[in-house]
Amino acid sequence: MENEIKFFIIHYKKLVERKKNLLGYLQRNSFKFEFIEEINRNTLTKENRSNFTEKKDDIHKAIFLSHIDAFKKVKESQYGYNLILEDDSIPHEDFYKRYSKYLDQLPDNFDMFFISPGKNNFHLPWYKRIPFKKVYKKDNIETHWGGHGASRCADAYFISKKCATTLHQEFLNKSKRVDTSIDWWMNQMIDKYNLKIYWAEPTFVDTNLYETSFNVD
């Protein structure tokens, strides 16, 4: 299983259309997958909320905790490559044909590999691209084309088992409550642990495909 992929999908159960579309894609392409859907905005407990300041609403808290749950599952995964995907994203139809070419260029010691442009449509500018190169190291600095750090939102990214273990343990051992969203927290962790971050260019997952779910109860 060392060269196989498993998808871990952050999903809110009430968004039925999103799950239906993703299931169709995943089953059509025979991918292994698991939906992360037990924690959501309507099931947060007092203990769940105690991890956060009041700065963020329950939607962001639930999304954050779902990513933490995904980290736990990745560190226990038997698969060589593990992809965390939010449910408003979907891989390109030729993902199965393309991903191996990208992973061939990805260093073995990578920590996170972002493969969608994110909700802010972040892309490496054309003048930084090299013919036939598909994987680029991203420093955790603010740029006019890449936002405030190395994360590329949190819509679609491969994460190593080592990195998933580090981030999961960091959350469990945190000394103060979280006051930010998951992608900004990732940037903090990238700095703290000097994580090795890479971006795909061109990207091969589409994101932000639906109207916002924030107004869904």
CATH number, domain containing residue 154: 3.90.550
Q: What are the beta bridge partners of residue 156?
A: 85
Q: What are the beta bridge partners of residue 113?
A: 158, 198
17 touches 213 (CB < 8 A): no
21 touches 90 (CB < 8 A): yes
Give, to the nearest 10 degrees, the angle between helix 58-75 and helix 161-172: 130
Residue 103 is assigned to a structural domain of this protein? yes
CA separation for the pair 159, 114 (Å, rounded): 9
- What predicted TM-score, i.e. pTM, was given to this entire model? 0.93
Residue 44 is assigned to a structural domain of this protein? yes
CA separation for the pair 203, 217 (Å, rounded): 32
CA separation for the pair 196, 48 (Å, rounded): 29
The kind and range of the H/E element at 24 are helix 16-28
**What residue numbers bound the domain in which 59 lies?**
5-206
Residue 110 is assigned to a structural domain of this protein? yes
| Residue-wise pLDDT tens digits, 146-178 | 777 899 999 999 999 999 999 999 999 988 899
> For residue 145, what pLDDT is reported?
78
CA separation for the pair 190, 184 (Å, rounded): 10
| Residue-wise pLDDT tens digits, 93-125 | 889 888 889 999 999 999 999 999 988 899 999
Average pLDDT, the chain: 91
> Domains in the chain: how many in total?
1
Average pLDDT over residues 64-79: 97
